Amino acid sequence: MTQKEKTRSLVEAAMLAALTVVLLLPTIYLPLLGTLTLFIWPVPITVLGVRHGLKSSVLAMVTAALITSILSHPLTVGSLVIWLGFLGIALGYCFREKWPPAKTLGTGTLTVLASTLLLFLLTLLIFGVNPLTEGQALLAESGTQALEFYRGLGIPEGQLKQMEDYYLEMVEMFRYLLPATLLLGSIFATFINFSVARLILEKLGEDVPGLPPFATWQFPRNLLAGYLVGILFVVVGNYYGHNLLLEIGLNIQVIFNLVLALAGLSVVHYLLGRYRLPRALIILASGIIILNPIFLQLVTFLGIVDIAFNLRKL
């Protein structure tokens, strides 16, 4: 590498580290904008890892964390860096090594999951705070505030009682479904960073393997076995009053229901695409399906049928 290339590399690394700081600060201080930057602030670290290697991405993350800690609360910054910083490094490494998209997404998901569990453990050991208990308390408090608001609007006590039961059930389900929530949240964070980073890297002229078109997605048949295991665990857990089996079954069902819904939605995209409908109309139809519980159940069933019989070949 010539001196000119070294200088350009250092300048680019400094700019991407600065961009990481710029994305971290709104995440901490601006609630509305922070919702958008929360999941994408590691993208510059990923880009740096692809263009300049693992060492550069690690140094950028550490530098960005130190600078942001000076401008904000170090504990908040540390939590964000532990949670998603390692994802940026992992994706950068996977992209640079030209790993297949599925392997990259899997690695990213496991990285976020491990980082989240590490953050939970550190919070418990250092501060003596149980994140699960705090999360349940926060949900319960939100439910109480909502009930008081509706009571002020003059809603009858009978309806308020039903709403209170619903909120209590939500708090309990939060505990039951924590494993599925953590896994799906890790997948979501990884997918967002994967998509945004890949888009930017392609603009910069990098060749990054991407996922196949959504309409062509195919899922293995053994997913149906996993789905049936979830149902079996729920039935047996309910019948024998075995809470652990019930909780495991509920988590399996949540995860596999989402996968089956994706399989069904992929079929919908395929069928609508055959009629050459505008992309915007297909996306609108997908949004309506996702927001309507009845349509979503139908699409989930369609996913089961497609996995079993491969509707695209009929």
3-state helix, strand, coil in the chain (%, to 5): 85, 0, 15
* Residue 264 in this model has a pLDDT that exceeds 80: yes
Residue by residue, DSSP assigns 52-78 as H-HHHHHHHHHHHHHHHHHHS-HHHHH
2 pLDDT band (50/70/90 cuts)? low
Q: Do residues 167 and 140 touch, judged by C-beta distance below 8 A?
A: yes
Q: Which residues contact 286 (CB under 8 A, 6 or more apart)?
A: 265, 268, 269
Integer Cα distance of 232 and 291 in angstroms: 28
- For 245-262, the pLDDT digits (tens) are 999 999 999 999 999 999
13 pLDDT band (50/70/90 cuts)? confident
pLDDT at 198: 94
**Tokens representing residue 45 in the block:** 């670290």
Q: Do residues 65 and 78 touch, judged by C-beta distance below 8 A?
A: yes
- For 109-143, the pLDDT digits (tens) are 999 999 999 999 998 888 887 877 877 777 777 77
Mean pLDDT over each residue of the chain, to the nearest integer: 88
End-to-end CA gap in the chain: 56
Q: Do residues 241 and 253 touch, judged by C-beta distance below 8 A?
A: no
Determine what percent of the chain is predicted with pLDDT higher than 90: 49
Integer Cα distance of 96 and 108 in angstroms: 14
Integer Cα distance of 214 and 265 in angstroms: 9
Give the single-character DSSP code of 312. Answer: G
pTM of structure: 0.86
Integer Cα distance of 278 and 123 in angstroms: 48
* Residue 54 in this model has a pLDDT that exceeds 70: yes
Integer Cα distance of 81 and 79 in angstroms: 6
Integer Cα distance of 65 and 45 in angstroms: 12
**Tokens representing residue 181 in the block:** 């929530």
Integer Cα distance of 177 and 19 in angstroms: 36
Longest dimension (CA), the chain: 76
Integer Cα distance of 251 and 178 in angstroms: 8
**Tokens representing residue 61 in the block:** 């993350």
Count of positions (residues) in the chain: 314
- For 78-89, the pLDDT digits (tens) are 888 999 999 999
- For 203-246, the pLDDT digits (tens) are 989 989 889 999 999 899 999 999 999 999 999 999 888 888 99
6 pLDDT band (50/70/90 cuts)? low
Determine what percent of the chain is predicted with pLDDT higher than 70: 98
* Residue 147 in this model has a pLDDT that exceeds 80: no
